[in-house]
A = this chain, B = another copy of it.
Amino acid sequence: MAEIVTAAMLVIGDEILSGRTKDKNIGHLADVMTAIGIDLKEVRIVPDEEDEIVAAVNAVRARYTYVFTTGGIGPTHDDITADSISRAFGVPCEYDARAYQMLEASYIKREMEFTEARKRMARMPRGAEHIDNPVSLAPGFRIGNVHVMAGVPAIFQAMLDNVVPTLKTGTKLLSATVHCPFGEGVIGGPLADIQKAHPDTIIGSYPKYLDGKFWTELVVRARTQEALDAAHAEVEAMVLRLSPGN
């Protein structure tokens, strides 16, 4: 029996919504989730506003197996993710003793002042567990099914590498791709028939447009090799049948 494990992502940050920063983390998380058999079902990008973050995290953590957030865990006044997640879980946001000591020791060693701003990075919801940050030290954290990580892509990716081995993964969705030299108008009808005949698969049709010409990438997805192969063969046969000369 295929086990379905689901996830949602919360991207936190005004800079993404203003266009100033172009998100690179959604695509990376999507790739990693697909690779390990977790279905990413929803992504929300929300501003640096506590009410918005609280509402969004509570909406998605109730619906999906896992939630992953990026952004807002640095030392400045607009980094309000730890406070917001604490409020969402109804627990205090406080200095984590281990994070505080680790950060303090690191700044002492580097002969730098452990400022109030830097101390902010040791704050997390009571009861949270660390997500190690091999790049810049300040940890992310996990509370319940919510994983809170950095927005800087290099740090997010490193943190996610530490999270992945802790996740329950589902039955991986297998996929097969068929290159189709026609636009969707040609194949829409027969493709819908194949989808109807193979309800245990998900058949996607992705239109591509390049230099004035349309082509289509057809993707068959299924949780068993048998289901995949059967639908894949029919899609390939359809494309061949429609090709000139046939």
**Chain A residues engaging chain B, CB cutoff 8 angstroms:** 11, 14-23, 26-34, 39-48, 52, 74-79, 107, 112, 115-118, 120-121, 135-136, 151-152, 154-155, 173, 184-189, 191-192, 195, 202-209, 214, 219, 221
Contact: B34 with A18, CB < 8 Å? yes
In the complex the two chains form, what is the Cα distance from A246 to B120 in whole Å?
A: 26
Known contacts A185-B75, A189-B116; A44 and B42 CB within 8 A of each other: yes
A239 → chain B closest CB, angstroms: 14
The listed residue (B43, B204, B209) touching A154 by CB distance below 8 A is B209
**A19 close to B27 (CB less than 8 A):** yes
**Nearest-Cβ distance from residue A160 to partner chain B, whole angstroms:** 13
Nearest-CB residue, chain B, relative to A49: B41
Please name the residue on chain B nearest to A152 by beta carbon: B209
Known interface pairs A15-B219, A117-B186, A152-B207; 8 further A-B residue pairs with C-beta atoms within 8 A, sorted by A's residue number: A17-B43, A76-B205, A77-B192, A79-B184, A112-B185, A115-B185, A115-B188, A135-B209
* Interface pair A41/B47, CB less than 8 Å apart: yes
Contact of A184 (CB < 8 Å), options: B112, B117, B135, B187: B117
Residues in B with CB closer than 8 Å to A28 are 19
Cross-interface CB contact of A27 among B22, B79, B107, B116, cutoff 8 Å: B22
| Residues on B with beta carbons closer than 8 Å to the beta carbon of A34 | 18-20
Residue from A39, A155, A192 whose CB has the most chain B CB atoms within 10 Å? A192
Contact assessment for A115 and B27 in the assembled complex, using a CB-CB cutoff below 8 Å: no
A154: chain B residues within 8 A (beta carbon): 209
In the bound assembly, the distance between CA atoms of A84 and B16 in angstroms comes to 27
A17 to B34, CA, bound (A): 9
Q: How far is the CA of A30 from the CA of B21 in the complex (A)?
A: 10
Closest B residue, CB atoms, query A202: B14
From B76, B107, B135, B208, give the contact of A192 (CB < 8 A).
Answer: B76
CA distance A211 to B41 in the complex (A): 34
Residues of chain B within 8 A (CB-CB) of A214 are 136
Chain B residues with CB under 8 A of A77: 188, 191-192, 195, 203, 205
A202 contact set on B, CB distance < 8 A: 14
